[in-house]
Amino acid sequence: MRYLIFVVLLAGFFGLLSGQFHNGFLMVVGALCIALIALISARMALVDEESYPDLGTWVRMSLYVPYLFWQIVLSNWDVFKRVWDPALPVSPQLVRAPFSTRTAFGTVTFANSITLTPGTVTIEVLEGEFLIHALTTEAADGVKDGSMEAQVKRLEGAIK
């Protein structure tokens, strides 16, 4: 079943990028490439439940992305104000923020989300906590208040 989705996705990707549906030669070459890629991926065992999650994860993902985008807009606005402020009100600091995501997917999403929102960069993933460089005290507190973690955990849902 996963391989069926995999092949459909590859075909859709090829179709979108080439767009040459009238060109028979390109379509045949595309089909051959997809077959070859599927074969190699199967041998390397790349298509597992993590890279091809169930439908529920996709639904939760589409709910998470708008939330993340809004966080990015909010924190961009904050950095925007500080950069143009003549006094440059920043107080950079290193903070450690614990995380309790259960899956690699959740941890990576959490770390990337922290980096995407301006004001905080994930430097290192340690045992059970992130090492974060924060531009301001407010940004540091924002990471530690746990609201983003709650969102990521909702995204993780029931992945086993």
Partner 1 sequence: MEWNEILTAIFLALGVLISLTGSLGLLRMPDFYTRLHTAGKSDSLAQTFILGGLIFVTDNWQVAVRLLMIILLLFFTAPTATHAITKAARLDGLEPWRRG
The binding site for partner 1 (CB under 8 A) comprises 16-17, 19, 69, 72-73, 76, 79-80, 83-84, 88, 90-94, 111-113, 115-119, 121-124, 131, 133, 135
In sequence order, the 6+-apart residues with CB closer than 8 A to the CB of 156 are: 101, 102, 103, 105, 106
For residue 41, how many C-alpha atoms fall within 13 Å in the half-sphere facing its CB? 17
State which residue, 28 or 83, has the beta carbon closest to partner 1: 83
The structure tokens 């089909």 sit at: 31
CB of 110 to partner 1, least distance (A): 11
State which residue, 3 or 77, has the beta carbon closest to partner 1: 77
Backbone angles phi, psi at 47, to 5 degrees: -95, 90
State which residue, 84 or 160, has the beta carbon closest to partner 1: 84
CB of 123 to partner 1, least distance (A): 5
CB of 145 to partner 1, least distance (A): 19
Answer for the pair 6, 41: CB distance below 8 angstroms, yes or no. Answer: yes
Answer for the pair 137, 89: CB distance below 8 angstroms, yes or no. Answer: no
CB of 3 to partner 1, least distance (A): 22
State which residue, 34 or 135, has the beta carbon closest to partner 1: 135
CA distance 156 to 109: 10
